[in-house]
Amino acid sequence: MPLGDHLRELRKRIILACAGIVVGAIGGWFLYLPIYELLQQPVADLQARGINTSLNFSGVGTSFDVALRMAAFVGLLVSSPWWIYQLWAFLSPGLKKNERRWALGVIGAGVPLFAGGIYMAWIALPNTFLLLTQFVPEGQTSSALIDVGTYFKFVIQFLLVFGIAFLLPLILVVLNFLGVVKGITWLKGWRWAVIVIFVLAALATPTADAVTFIMMALPIIALYFLAVGICMLNDRRRAKRAAKEDAELDAALADGPSSGGSSSDTES
């Protein structure tokens, strides 16, 4: 396909993807109030503990700005299957049949993993918010006036970080299938991986209850070892295929001189 056709196809896919995000953002605009009530629940929990906390709309247009950002965030999430498909539709003509299969597998696994990470982040969010604001003195003389824009920016970034963290095992598998890193390399580093996962889980769920952060860390650890297992199986399959190709090549080289010699004898 000529370069001009590629650029026109890219423009078409970008326009379609943006249109889907806009449609999702319009839906998010009408869902602004229930989403706002849901996301400010950690603040309500802090108030229930006796800490005078409230979200502060500091500017004239702050409420409109927050509603616009939240609608855009919801639109981006809701329309993700649509714009991911547009990316796939642009790349698929240049992929081979087996490459298309693996690409579809990556996309199909990435969406539920990302959603699972966001769900786990939502579970950890109240405890994290409590840790960051627990030093506000209780009573009527002290209060925490939190800028609403800063608060929702923190919440959205927190959710996205967990979503991306759940995609890391998938990245390990992709790097292995691309031949960049062998599965044995990931396996040798499992101790450091487990330590890092537990530390991050403990920071995300800062409570005295050890069961909470253990339950947070176990799914990520399970995903890590599942990714390592897939990488090891792929390396074994690749080694068998390489050995088979080497055997076929050796057989072809061994048959070559003998067949040539017999044909010369026949001619003589």
pLDDT, tens only, 87-108 = 777 767 766 777 677 777 777 7
- Residue 129 CB burial class (10 angstroms; 0-12, 13-18, ≥19): buried
Whole-number pLDDT of residue 23: 93
What are the pLDDT tens digits along the chain (268 aa)? 566 777 888 888 899 989 999 999 999 899 888 888 888 888 887 777 777 778 888 878 888 888 888 898 888 888 878 887 787 777 677 667 776 777 777 777 878 888 888 888 888 787 777 777 766 666 555 567 788 888 888 888 878 777 877 888 888 887 777 777 888 888 888 888 888 888 877 776 555 556 667 777 888 888 889 888 888 888 888 888 888 877 777 777 777 655 545 444 544 4
Both structure tokens of 232? 């090891």
Residue among 212, 184, 183 nearest 198 (CA): 212
DSSP three-state, residue 246: helix
Whole-number pLDDT of residue 136: 65
CA distances from 88 to 14, 51, 205, 223, 261 (A): 12, 49, 37, 25, 54
Whole-number pLDDT of residue 41: 83
* Residue 207 falls in which region: left (phi positive, over 0), alpha (psi -120 to 50) or beta: beta
pTM of the model: 0.68
Q: What are phi and psi of 58, to 5 degrees?
A: -80, -25
Provide the 10 A C-beta neighbour count for residue 186.
Answer: 22
Domain spans, the chain: 1-163, 167-255
Whole-number pLDDT of residue 268: 45
146: β partners: 55
- Residues with Cβ within 8 Å of 119's Cβ and at least 6 positions away in sequence, in order, are none
Provide the 8-state DSSP code for 216. Answer: H
